[in-house]
Structure 1
Amino acid sequence: MTGFANHQLVLTAIGEDRTGIVGALTQLVSDCHCNIIDSRIAILGNEFSFIMLLAGDMSAISRVEHILPTKSVELGLLTMMKRTSSHPNTEFSAGYTIEYSGIDAPGTLSRVTTLLGENHINICSLKSDTFDDKDQTFMRSELEVNLSVDVEFDTFKVQFEQLCNELNLEYILRRIR
């Protein structure tokens, strides 16, 4: 299976949520002799979104690129593909989950992610949503982050706590690796 590591392709599909889309897309990938290295699915409103990182030899990747546009029309999906390469191994000192919630207000996620960027903290995953409770709309976010060896976590933690206090957010910082 060493051929799987040769070439990689990011495939994104978006369309109306309905049963069978995942099966059709993963069957296409399998029929083209590619391997799914990583994937994410989200339902946003009535729309389904699926992101996959595929690996295969040049011929397998080319088959996906050739067949997917026709299959996309057949399935009623908007798709996008981009060739990529393996993510470089960066030396990280730790990984954390950051969870926060509070009354929904424009700009909260932007302020948090800006703070992460200013502290050179790498966001690996992000999930954010809103919900209604007692006639108010609340938001909650969960991020997984990696800290490079040169990040001063205690300094970031103080800045993050100050931001959460300013925005009236409840939060949890949890080391995961």
Structure 2
Amino acid sequence: MSQYLVLTAMGADRTGCVSELTKLASECGCNIMDSRMAIFGHEFSFIMLLKGDVREINQLEAKLPALAHSLDLLTMMKRTSGYKTLDISQYYQAQYSGIDQPGILKSVTSFFAHHNLDISSLKSDISPQTNMMSAVIEFTVNETANIDTLETQFLELCEQFNVQGCIKQIKHQ
């Protein structure tokens, strides 16, 4: 029976760290179901959803601490119940951009939580030179949601912060 493990690693942005982590997963017989990596300043963060049988997951859990120590990485692991595929017919992207102001991201994520919308991806950036920010949020909706109403309310929220925004349906890769 398949087991699932979420593995998160964080450390100094150095060439080869992601390669070593994926190599360990492969050597232990685990399959990488999903992964994300990002650079924050001089640090990187990497997260993977791994699938394997009990022996493969146990082996990875036993070997990871030594590898993490040798690479000077902070790691965290958590068993999870499985891999959920998204209903691609109900997959949307919200975007907004403008001059950064305190509370925008909090208000936008609260908007999604209030409407019971599942955020699957969030990327936000602020330019230190211009103080311009932008964000892209991917989310799913259930069959009963009215996307036109959601978009109208999202645009009203954007208007409160004097930023440009939009929602569009996308095809999930």
Residue-pair matches, total: 171
Aligned to 1:106: 102
Distance 2:166 2:119 in 1: 16
Is the CA contact 2:96–2:164 (under 8 Å) kept in the aligned structure 1? yes
Distance 1:110 1:145 in 2: 16
- Aligned residue type for 1:153: I
Offset of residue 150 of structure 1: 1.9
Offset of residue 91 of structure 1: 6.0
The Cα offsets for residues 90-122 of structure 1, whole Å up to 9 and x where unpaired, read as: 767611111111111111011011111111111
TM-score by length of 1: 0.91
Gaps of 5+ in 1: none
- Aligned residue type for 1:104: D
The Cα offsets for residues 47-104 of structure 1, whole Å up to 9 and x where unpaired, read as: 0110000000000000010000111000000000000022456767611111111111
2:132 to 131, 134, 138: 138
Alignment of 1:43-58 (within 5 A): 43-58=39-54
Between 81-90 and 153-162, the greater mean CA deviation after superposition: 81-90
Distance 1:160 1:29 in 2: 41
Distance 1:47 1:87 in 2: 28
TM-score by length of 2: 0.93
Determine helix, strand or coil for the equivalent of 1:49: strand
Aligned to 2:163: 169
Q: Are 2:11 and 1:29 aligned?
A: no
Going by fraction, where is strand more abundant, 1 or 2?
A: 1
Gaps of 5+ in 2: none
Is the CA contact 2:97–2:165 (under 8 Å) kept in the aligned structure 1? yes
Determine helix, strand or coil for the equivalent of 2:93: strand
Aligned to 2:58: 62
Distance 1:23 1:88 in 2: 26
Distance 1:84 1:94 in 2: 24
Matched residues, percent identical? 45
Aligned to 2:69: 73
- CA-based RMSD: 1.6
Aligned to 1:115: 111
